[in-house]
Amino acid sequence: MRDLARRIDAATPPGRDRALDALRALAILGVVLGHWLVTALVADSGSLRVESPLGRMPELTPVSWVFQTLAVFFLVGGLVAARGHAAARARGESHRRWIAARLGRLFRPVRPLLGVWLLASAVMLACGVPWQTLWTLGKLVLSPLWFLLVLAALTAATPLVARVHPLWPLAVVLHVDLVRFGLDGPGRLGWINLPAGWLVPYCLGALIARRGTPAKGAAWTLLLGGAAATGLLVAFAGYPGSMVGVPGAPVSNLNPPTLAAVTFGLAQCGAAVLLLGPLRRALRRPRAWAAVALLNLGALTVFLWHQTAMIGVTTGGLLTSHLLGRPPLPGLHTVPDGPVWVLARLGWLPLFAGALLACCAVFHPYERTHTARAPKPRPDRRTEARRA
């Protein structure tokens, strides 16, 4: 392990900002653990349905503040995309080629996921699995794709939005929510916030790429100002306290994003900027960097397959219990209604992680980036003539 860490450290380009990779890894881990902790597949009348412990135990709401880390991912995405696009322009690379390469890396790992689940759905239908169960499982598996679609759209728009100040999309979110909630406007108007809400951290990342890392004072302002604004919105404006969706709740902060989700994301971005320095120092150690680098190599695979891993363990446990004539297993497919469920769910996390590692071992090759061969330069005719 030590030799592997040293090889990874030695192979890393000197100019690579390791802290950005660490932030991306933390964001991915936050999403994965958050889904595993707040998503319960409950066996009910021969089918599976989704429940959340946040709906029955609102005291667990702070869990959503820790594990809802999407803003950090969009912050890093905007920063990396803006730098990459600027470097591509300096090389003389066209916008179309740059965008095609970026989108290819995003969507290449999606194909095996769709293929596996199309086959699995056909098998389950043939075996008589209820439509309700198929719908539940399909939503869980496909729900992460909204994130990739938004990220792909923002990436494709990088040449247009890289110089947009984040206050502009923030103003759009503010006015949309004012019309939607304050003036009883149509609910569908909120979908404008889907691109606008995530443009805020994305444009903030692009701004950092242009101007450099903000001073600590600016980062603290983002952190404290965003946290204070979120607290006020939740306490006095009727926004939900949970930063993730809760089944059955009248309003979700994520579906589509609300002003509270955006201000919360700004607080997270401030914290992320403050962490850059400590992370850069910590990642000078080869072992720490190796862990971050390995996770980043399979980040999309982890993101796309983590729900499948949870579903596999859950359905496998359900079938085993049924065959052995035992009751549903606590924390796996029982109602999340108390501390016993929480403790039991924590015990299942290592199995979820093991199943995810198995998925990554099989499907990670689809995420590998194949660098296109550069076209060979055309030989100079005058040089050829002289050689002749």
Q: Is 316 or 387 the better-scoring residue by pLDDT?
A: 316
Task: Return the percentage of the chain with pLDDT > 70, whole number.
Answer: 95
Task: Check residue 1 and give its pLDDT.
Answer: 72
Task: Check residue 372 and give its pLDDT.
Answer: 38
3-state secondary structure the chain: CHHHHHHHHHHCCCCCCHHHHHHHHHHHHHHHHHHHHHCEEEEECCEEEEECHHHHCHHHCHHHHHHCCHHHHHHHHHHHHHHHHHHHHHHCCCHHHHHHHHHHHHHCCHHHHHHHHHHHHHHHHHCCCCHHHHHHHHHHHHCCHHHHHHHHHHHHCHHHHCCCCCHHHHHHHHHHHHHHHHCCCCHHHHHHHHHHHHHHHHHHHHHHHHHCCCCHHHHHHHHHHHHHHHHHHHHHCCCCCCCCCCCCCCCCCECCECHHHHHHHHHHHHHHHHHHHHHHHHCCCHHHHHHHHHHHHCHHHHHHHHHHHHHHHHHHHHHHHHHHCCCCCCCCCCCCCCHHHHHHHHHHHHHHHHHHHHHHHHHHHHHCCCCCCCCCCCCCHHHHHHHC
Q: What is the pLDDT of residues 185-238, one digit of tens each?
A: 998 999 999 999 999 999 999 999 999 999 999 999 999 999 999 999 999 999
Please classify residue 384 by burial: count the beta carbons closer than 10 Å to its beta carbon, then call 0-12 exposed, 13-18 middle and 19+ buried: exposed
Confidence of residue 256 (pLDDT cuts 50, 70, 90): very high
Question: What is the widest separation between alpha-carbon atoms in the chain?
Answer: 87
Rounded distance, CA 266 to CA 317, Å?
Answer: 40
Average of per-residue pLDDT across 256-277 = 96
CB 60 within 8 A of CB 240: no
- Nearest Cα neighbor of 116 from 126, 124, 107 is 124
Q: What is the pLDDT of residues 112-133, one digit of tens each?
A: 999 999 999 999 999 888 888 8
CA 51 vs CA 35, 37, 48, 85, 129: distances in Å: 12, 11, 10, 42, 19
Task: Check residue 377 and give its pLDDT.
Answer: 40
Rounded distance, CA 240 to CA 57, Å?
Answer: 14
Considering the chain, what is the average pLDDT of its residues?
A: 89
Is it the case that residue 366 has pLDDT exceeding 90? Answer: no
CA 385 vs CA 377, 379, 382: distances in Å: 17, 11, 5
Task: Check residue 386 and give its pLDDT.
Answer: 40
Rounded distance, CA 157 to CA 299, Å?
Answer: 22
Confidence of residue 369 (pLDDT cuts 50, 70, 90): low
Q: What is the pLDDT of residues 69-104, one digit of tens each?
A: 999 999 999 999 999 999 998 999 888 999 999 999
Task: Check residue 376 and give its pLDDT.
Answer: 42
Task: Check residue 312 and give its pLDDT.
Answer: 94
Confidence of residue 176 (pLDDT cuts 50, 70, 90): very high
Q: Output phi, psi for 47, to 5 deg.
A: -135, 170
Confidence of residue 319 (pLDDT cuts 50, 70, 90): confident
Average of per-residue pLDDT across 5-31 = 91
Confidence of residue 172 (pLDDT cuts 50, 70, 90): very high
CB atoms within 10 A of CB 111: 11
Q: Is 180 or 326 the better-scoring residue by pLDDT?
A: 180
Task: Check residue 173 and give its pLDDT.
Answer: 97
Q: What is the pLDDT of residues 303-317, one digit of tens each?
A: 999 999 999 999 898
Is it the case that residue 243 has pLDDT exceeding 80? Answer: yes
